[in-house]
Amino acid sequence: MTRDAVLLMAYGSPDRLDQVEAYYTDIRRGSPPPPHLLAELTARYAAIGGGSPLSQVVEAQRAALQAELAARMTPVPVYAGMRHIAPRIGDVVKRMAADGVERLAAIAMAPQASSNAAGYRRAVDAALAEIATAGGTPPRVEYVASWHDQPRFIEALADTTREALARFEDPSAPLVMFTAHSLPARVVADGDPYPDELAATAFLVAEALGLERYTFSFQSAGRTGEEWLGPDILAELRRLGAEGVRELVVRPVGFTADHLEVLYDIDIEAQGVAREAGIRLERARSMNTDPVFIAGLADVATTALAPVPVA
């Protein structure tokens, strides 16, 4: 019987302030960041407690998914690897091969497909090539390109948005804003599916909630000097405040865990702009180990590892 496993892949984030420089350098493909940008990023991590909880959250997601699969009588080991910090995706793939894994489902914890998410696949492919070059037998990989419309993922997003709306005196009154990490605007010209898949996710959640209106904005754009996808969340908050919006729920749909882009970019930076604009902003909680979300992730994994019908 083929030995199957699941590989969860996340971007990675520093746990401590003394890791920020190496992490930022890795993101910049080995180019050290200018001192002022390093200082700015370090200050952001300091503001959320001195480091990101992302690694711990992904480990908890890994354990929860493994338990969910075992409960379904389809027990398979689940591993987790990061792109820009240990444990590296490539190292984890090599460990999986050493553990005797013959086939793995590779799932990026980025539900929508994008050119940026393709970096996860490149990391896996590089490790497979190294295994083969060393004379080993690389596992067969079932790549999950996208799961932006997975029913339980949509259900979990809708449930947590509903929770946030319930914090208001009239839950039907607040406007809902969906957000996701921005990418360079050139990806649209390159035919990247990311914007369309984000729009589809937002539409499905809005439909599940019965929303008559909602808005979408991008956040956390890079400091590269080129144009990034918009509208930007901070500009949108100012616009909405000027138009008289006073109650708002922000529901990230491109993130599945607490990390800097949620805990700082929304909870501190966007929250501050919202207050200045006269808006009460409530953020829907992150998926993390939400049971419905983990069940959806298990559905993704079992579909990827389903036996191929014999013609």
pLDDT in tens, 50-100: 999 999 999 999 999 999 999 998 899 999 999 999 999 999 999 999 999
Question: Which pLDDT belongs to residue 76?
Answer: 96
Span 110-116, average pLDDT: 93
Q: Are 110 and 197 in contact (CB under 8 A)?
A: no
Distance, CA of 232 to CA of 254 (rounded, Å): 15
Span 4-12, average pLDDT: 97
Question: Which pLDDT belongs to residue 308?
Answer: 64
Asked if the peptide bond before residue 14 counts as cis, ω within 30 degrees of 0, the response is: no
- Which of 11-15, 223-227, 264-268 is predicted with the least confidence, judged by mean pLDDT? 223-227
CA nearest 222: which of 28, 12, 26? 28
Question: Which pLDDT belongs to residue 187?
Answer: 86
Cβ neighbours of 71 (radius 10 Å)? 11
- Which of 118-122, 261-265, 288-292 is predicted with the least confidence, judged by mean pLDDT? 118-122
Given the structure tokens 């793939």, which residue do they identify? Answer: 93
CA nearest 144: which of 299, 311, 307, 308? 299
Please give the single-letter amino acid code of residue 144. Answer: V
Distance, CA of 60 to CA of 67 (rounded, Å): 11
Cβ neighbours of 79 (radius 10 Å)? 21
Question: Which pLDDT belongs to residue 73?
Answer: 86
pLDDT at 309 over 60: no
pLDDT in tens, 240-263: 999 999 999 999 999 999 999 999
pLDDT at 310 over 70: no
Which domains does the chain show, CATH number per domain?
Answer: 4-147+290-304 (3.40.50.1400), 151-283 (3.40.50.1400)
| β 4-10/103-108 pair status | parallel
Number of H helices, E strands in the chain: 12, 8
Asked if the peptide bond before residue 252 counts as cis, ω within 30 degrees of 0, the response is: no
Distance, CA of 91 to CA of 86 (rounded, Å): 9
Euclidean distance between the first and final Cα of the chain, in Å? Answer: 20
Distance, CA of 78 to CA of 71 (rounded, Å): 14
Cβ neighbours of 48 (radius 10 Å)? 18
Joined together, the tokens standing for residue 226 give 């080129």
Quick check: pTM over 0.85?
A: yes
State what percent of residues in the chain have pLDDT above 70.
Answer: 98
Question: Which pLDDT belongs to residue 307?
Answer: 79
pLDDT at 311 over 80: no
Enclosing H/E stretch for 188: helix 186-189
Question: Which pLDDT belongs to residue 118?
Answer: 87
Longest dimension (CA), the chain: 65
Residue 159's Cβ-side half-sphere holds a number of Cα atoms within 13 Å equal to 12
